[in-house]
């Protein structure tokens, strides 16, 4: 997330971990609900959200997402704009955050543990990440 604090551009990193296997529009909406509740509480000056995402039809580029965008102000109390990268062409800091979280959890920590102490559930991954990463805020759903 990028935001202005006075005239300085700041950033904050977030990661959402879930046991949900269907990465569809409903999941995106539930994450938006969690995230925007947090934003409104911790960044009360925010009036507009600008989303940047890839062109994945299952999650973002479909009629349900456009209905969600049309109702964004009513549902969340914030104006919104959604920008799409061309499919398979958009990379953003989110890709790096997801990659480092998955790699650190799987390779660096879980696989080096004993058989009975590995990270095998989303809840365990969330707990590990909360303690291991200090510069990323985590949410679990």
**Residue 130, Cβ density class (10 Å: 0-12 exposed, 13-18 middle, ≥19 buried):** middle
Q: What is the pLDDT of residues 96-114, one digit of tens each?
A: 787 888 888 776 666 666 6
- The confidence score (pLDDT) of residue 20 equals 84
Q: What is the pLDDT of residues 12-38, one digit of tens each?
A: 999 999 988 887 888 889 999 999 999
In this predicted structure, the answer to whether residue 75 has a pLDDT above a threshold of 80 is yes
Please give the share of the chain, as a percent, with pLDDT higher than 70: 83
Is 116:85 a contact under the CB 8 Å cutoff?
A: no
Q: What is the pLDDT of residues 47-71, one digit of tens each?
A: 999 988 776 665 667 788 889 899 9
- On whether the pTM is more than 0.85, the answer is no
Distance, CA of 106 to CA of 57 (rounded, Å): 28
- The confidence score (pLDDT) of residue 9 equals 92
Task: Tell me the helices (H) and strands (E) count for the chain, helix number first.
Answer: 5, 6
Packing angle, helices 25-42 and 63-70, rounded to 10: 30
In this predicted structure, the answer to whether residue 89 has a pLDDT above a threshold of 60 is no
**Residue predicted with more confidence, 117 or 79:** 79
In this predicted structure, the answer to whether residue 90 has a pLDDT above a threshold of 60 is no
Mean pLDDT (whole number) for 75-95: 77
Q: How confident is the prediction for the chain on average, in pLDDT?
A: 84
């Amino acid at each position: 997330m990028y935001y202005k604090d006075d005239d300085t551009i700041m950033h904050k990193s977030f990661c959402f971990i879930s046991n949900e296997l269907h990465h569809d529009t409903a999941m995106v909406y539930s994450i938006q609900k969690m995230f925007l509740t947090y934003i409104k509480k911790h960044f009360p000056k925010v009036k507009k959200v600008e989303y940047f995402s890839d062109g994945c039809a299952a999650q973002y580029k479909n009629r349900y997402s456009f209905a969600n965008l049309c109702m964004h102000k009513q549902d969340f109390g914030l104006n919104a704009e959604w920008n799409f990268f061309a499919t398979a062409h958009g990379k953003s800091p989110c890709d790096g955050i997801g990659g480092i979280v998955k790699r650190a959890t799987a390779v660096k920590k879980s696989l080096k543990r004993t058989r009975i102490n590995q990270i095998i559930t989303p809840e365990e991954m969330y707990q590990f990440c909360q303690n291991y990463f200090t510069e990323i805020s985590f949410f679990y759903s």
